[in-house]
Amino acid sequence: MSTAVFFHAHPDDEALLTAGTMAMLADEGHRVVLVVATAGERGLAEMPRGEELGRTRMDELYRSAAALGCARVVLLGYGDSGLAIDGGVADDRPDNAFIDADVEDAAQRLASVLKEEAADLLTIYDPAGGYGHPDHVQVYRVGSRAAEIAGTPIVLEATVDRDLLLRGVRLAARFYPAIDVRSFERAYSPRDAITHRVSVRRYAKAKRASMAAHASQATGGDGDRTLGAMLRIPGPAYRFVFGTEWFVRRGLPRGTRLRHPFDSP
């Protein structure tokens, strides 16, 4: 049995990017640990931002973790940095915002978990933080350093196939002209940089349960929420759309195609 630690910025991030892989590893008998930097108390939801939302989202996180078979959940306790209207760093963020945390200090805290768990694998995000959320970029910085400190042998960057994403976005833009296709052109990772393509179709039910656990993030705001739209996709189509999860492992030859998180060339 190996131990895999999945490091995310906010509750619900695990459901969107790594839930299928987490469920698969747990089902295979590996120990799966979920570490979250913040409680997501500044996320968009119908209830006001603040401590109550944070508590609600943590409850949702534990339900998601249970659906995926996680053995442990760890909250680092940083404040949700929020997001400015232009997608940058919010000016009204809390004093303990994750984005303002000293990278070395935060990395030492995560490294203590990695050492305690004798982690064989750590997942983080790509350097751009996927779609650029400041807390996601900080996950990359902190996670990369923590793996160095702890000597964690495998570090995978959870991402999305940008080529595939752009095809879908361009198709959607034909029907919804308001979609800004350009904002996706540098998001996530290009196909030839992706080293791991993990099939998680067998675990679609667990992944969907993980998404459904985060009910506070399925509604709220003026437009249709991404999570809510995903949960309305019918079962067969859901397995097709969300049946693969992508990762990048640095240092492997470009074009490497691996099928399992613990695979090596």
In SS3 terms, 138-199 reads as: HHHHHHHHHHHHHCCCEEEEEECEHHHHHHHHHHHHHHCCCCCHHHHCCCCECHHHCCEEEE
Give Cα separations from 199 to 21, 168, 255, 260 (angstroms): 8, 19, 18, 8
Predicted local confidence at residue 224, as pLDDT: 56
**230: Cα separation from own chain's centroid:** 15
Which range has the top average pLDDT, 40-54, 150-164, 167-181?
150-164
Separation between Cα atoms, residue 161 and residue 165, nearest integer Å? 6
pLDDT digits (tens, 9 = 90+) for 88-126: 788 889 999 999 999 999 999 999 999 999 999 999 999
Partnered with residue 33 across adjacent β-strands are 5, 72
* Eight-state DSSP code of residue 97: B
pLDDT, tens digit, for every residue of 61-70? 999 999 999 9
Assess contact for 214 and 44: CB atoms under 8 A: no
Structure tokens at 195: 């080293």
Residue with tokens 């680092």: 76
Q: How many CA atoms lie within 13 A of 5 on its CB side?
A: 31
Give the global pTM.
0.93
pLDDT digits (tens, 9 = 90+) for 234-255: 888 999 989 999 999 999 998 8
Q: Is the pLDDT of residue 7 over 90?
A: yes
How far, in Å, CA of 168 to CA of 178, rounded?
Answer: 15
Distance CA 242, CA 212 (A): 14
The residues with which 125 forms a beta bridge, in sequence order, are 158
- Nearest to 70, CA basis, from 13, 22, 7: 22
- Which is the CATH superfamily of the domain at 3-249? LmbE-like (3.40.50.10320)
Look at residue 225 and tell me whether its pLDDT is greater than 70. no
107 φψ region: left (φ > 0), alpha (ψ -120 to 50), beta (else): alpha
| Residue ranges per structural domain of the chain | 3-249
Q: Is residue 161 over pLDDT 70?
A: yes
The string of pLDDT tens digits covering residues 166-218 is 888 888 778 767 777 887 888 899 999 999 999 999 999 999 999 999 988 87
pLDDT at 138: 97
